[in-house]
Structure 1
Amino acid sequence: MIKDLNVKVGPQFYRYSEGAIDIIPELLQEHAASCILIVHGGISWEKAKPFLTKVINLDKKIIYEQYKGECSYNECYRIAEIIKKNKIDFVIGVGGGKLSDLVLHASHLTNTQFGIIPTLASNCAPWAPLSVMYKDNGLAEGKTEHVKRQAAFLITDPALVIDSPVNYFIAGIADTLAKWYESDLILEQEEFSDEPFLQMARYAARMCKEKVLTESEKAIEDMKAGNISDEFVHISEIIFAIAGLVGGLGDKYARNTAAHSIHDAISAYLPEVHVYLHGEKVAYGILYQLALEKKWSTIDELIPFYESLHLPKSLTEMGVYPMAESTLSNIVKLIDNKKKVHLLPLKVNEETLTTALIDLENYLNK
């Protein structure tokens, strides 16, 4: 029996369909919202506004604030001050993953209800009860803020999401694929075989992998053509909802391990990788985790998929390897300091983490 499992299933209300955003005024009424702050991006906000007509025209006080592009502590505190100063009782975030994380943490700081309208499918940030923190300059902070609240709603329209950059969608596909590989070794252990929520998390993680590997290429083609197909809806929904459900049901046992840990580490110590999106760096992280597990045949199986989506496979490919020994040491130390990586039923220490990184570069670039 697990005594420390925290199940945070997801937003109170979820809908992803044509015209879904029109239900938001009804939900705001349900939450007795009277003074609303809408935090938004730039280009994404211009694309989202036509979908938000019923919200914008509400007979309520609405304040609009454009965020500065990063989910940093400074930006969270800035938004929190706006919430306090204007006595906001409901926050709506309209944008991508960093904006979702920002709204969650600012709302946590001020104990304010919030809802999320994703404008793209690039990760599970709209669903997950955590915020990945960055510095103001875009480098990883190396910290994740976990909270015990989740969104009052997660609502969006596939007609809005399909009009977002394709490379973000592909990055989201990679980030979602990691859900299986990061939780597989942990959840397959005998001690967890009878744990209901962990096995539900495992089922959701398996769905992430199977759908991504079978439907992604068609979904990408349809996105490029502006065709809201079943495959596009399935994959985008799996990216921001089902992927979030994995960690929501399984908590630390089904959340980030080696793939995300090395994402955080290279983002903290290699400024050159900032040009890659979160999911693109996690794609490399999946292969790193498989190298740590010595599953070279699985790496071989994934390479054609990676190449078809133009995902980075190695640090050499990203132009940051070889690197100074001190940099490699810092990267490995940061990974080793992550508690979740030590949930893997493997020998995980600075030596094995270093070996996996070097072996992967040698294997992929031989």
Structure 2
Amino acid sequence: MANIIASPTRYIQGKGELKNLCKHAERLGSKLFILTSNSGRGRVEPAISEGLRETECTAHYEVFRGECCDSEISRLKELYLASGCDLVVGIGGGKIHDTAKAIAYYTKSPVVIVPTIASTDAPCSALSVIYSDAGVFDRYLFLPASPNMVLVDTDVVSQAPLRLLVSGMGDALATYFEARACQRSNATNCVGGKITLAAMRLARLCYDTLLADGVKAALAVQNKVCTRAVENIIEANTYLSGIGFESGGLAGAHAIHNGLTALEETHALYHGEKVAFGTLVQLMLENAPEEELEEVIDFCMAVGLPTTLADLGVKEPDSKRLMEVATLAAAPGDTLGNMPFEVTPQTVYAAILAADAAGRYYKEEV
């Protein structure tokens, strides 16, 4: 099997780039179908309209209803076809991105992704995560190509709430460890090939950037400023993690995230917050060295990522419910099968409790 790496055709990141959206998008289409939230539209439309006047493009806005599920994708697909537009643009967070990518896939249209937050690595991937109408993980929709373009306005992203940037760090935190597990097991990555040297290096660079700049970036965003550290973390959360996870592969951390969606208490948390705890669970499954575990937990605590079940809102975990989480995480179609050893619901259950205990232990040490 070939080694394969995938990426967007073009990645654009810089301050004030939102006003250049139409200029950049013109090579793909002139009638933009812009999917965003109601509140998001109010924040981005002025800049887009400013740039629109300098092009031949038109913009048609539709409101995303909050869940990347089959019913919402079908609704928006029909609206897109009726609109006469020729380019899908998803502006907002991860579920808007995944929905926009799915619409583009089903209508055979180009797609531009514009993150307004750096909370996940969804923007660059050839993947949509599909949930039920109630928000429970359903399946991955693997797409034939990455987005045609990803455009990141760092002025916009740096003004978003700090928790969203930190959630992105949680998602990015898993990238190296999952790629490493896939490399060890010789697993197939998300684009149907084996891991390239470049993908593995990008995954490691993602982790190293988090350790080097994560705390500095969090402090800057807390004070509503965009520093070099913020720029680096936005790139790590969005591009390095996006290429790293997709071309490196998914393993334990994201499967644990999917299992945690069975607990209603966790629905209030962001994707990356649950993935961060999933990373701790994966490290427990691997019996990772204590120094590595401590480094990851220290990072999580420093930036404000969950390290215990209580942090996830699960105040009174019971064995039956946690076994449901473990069983869902270890489902045959999920990515725990990419670990370099056999994983069962019982071993996942034990690793969840061990990760929770480790998180509580290090909190007491501080």
Percent of aligned positions that are identical: 24
TM-score (norm 1): 0.89
Q: Name the structure 1 match of 2:33.
A: 37
Q: In 2 relative to 1, CA 229–142 (structure 1 residues): closer, same or farther, beyond 3 Å?
A: same
Distance verdict in 2 for CA 1:363–1:216, change over 3 Å: closer
Name the CA distance, whole Å, in 2 between partners of 1:344 and 1:278: 21
Give secondary structure in 1 for the equivalent of 2:59: strand
User: How many angstroms apart in 1 are the aligned matches of 2:195 and 2:150?
Assistant: 22
AA of the residue aligned to 1:359: A
Question: Aligned-residue CA RMSD in angstroms?
Answer: 2.3
Corresponding position of 1:117? 114
Aligned AA (2:111): F
Q: Which amino acid aligns with 2:198?
A: M
- Give distance in 2, aligned partners of 1:291 and 1:351: 13
C-alpha contact 1:122 1:239 (8 A) present in aligned 2? yes
Letter in 2 for 1:278: H
* Structure 1: tracts of 5 or more residues without a match: none
Query: TM-score when scaled to structure 2?
Result: 0.89
Instruction: Name 1:79's counterpart in structure 2.
Output: 76
Residue 11 of structure 1 contacts residue 151 of structure 1 at CA under 8 Å; is this kept in 2? yes
Q: How does 1:50-61 map to 2 (within 5 A)?
A: 50-57=46-53, 58-61=55-58
Partners of 1:93 and 1:319 in 2: CA distance: 30
1:96-148 per-position Cα deviation (integer Å, ceiling 9, x unaligned) = 111111100111111111111111111111111111122333x2233111101
Cα distance, 1:203–1:87 mapped onto 2, change above 3 Å: same
1:350 is aligned to 2:361: no
Structure 2 segments unaligned to the other structure (5+ residues): 362-366
Alpha-carbon distance in 1 for matches of 2:199, 2:74: 33
Tell me the distance in 2 between the aligned counterparts of 1:78 and 1:312. 35
Note the 1:266-305 alignment, pairs <5 A.
266-267=260-261, 269-295=262-288, 297=290, 298-305=292-299
Which of 243, 246, 261 is the aligned partner of 2:244? 246
Number of residue pairs matched by the alignment: 354
- Aligned residue identity for 1:344: M
Deviates more, 1:196-205 or 1:127-136: 196-205
Inter-partner Cα distance in structure 2 for 1:331 and 1:159? 38
- 1:143 lines up with 2:142 in the alignment: no
Moved more, 156-165 or 291-300: 291-300
1:48 positional shift: 1.7
1:318-341 per-residue CA deviation (whole Å, 9 max, x = no partner) reads: 342653443233222212214421
In 2, Cα distance between the equivalents of 1:333 and 1:54? Answer: 51
Letter in 1 for 2:152: T
Partner of 1:94: 91
Equivalent pair of 2:323/2:346 in contact (CA under 8 Å): no
**In 2, are the aligned partners of 1:315 and 1:361 still within 8 Å (CA)?**
yes
**Structure-2 separation of matches of 1:233 and 1:311:** 20
Q: Does 1:360 align with 2:358?
A: no
User: What is the Cα deviation at residue 285 of structure 1?
Assistant: 0.6
Counterpart CA distance in 1 for 2:311 and 2:111 is 40
More displaced, 65-74 or 350-359? Answer: 350-359
Corresponding residue SS for 1:346:
coil
Judged with a 3 Å threshold, the aligned counterparts in structure 2 of structure 1 residues 6 and 340 are, in CA distance, closer, same or farther, namely farther
Alignment of 1:1-366 (within 5 A): 2-3=1-2, 6-7=4-5, 9-31=6-28, 33-57=29-53, 58-137=55-134, 139-188=135-184, 197-248=195-246, 250=247, 254-267=248-261, 269-295=262-288, 297=290, 298-320=292-314, 322-337=316-331, 338-365=333-360
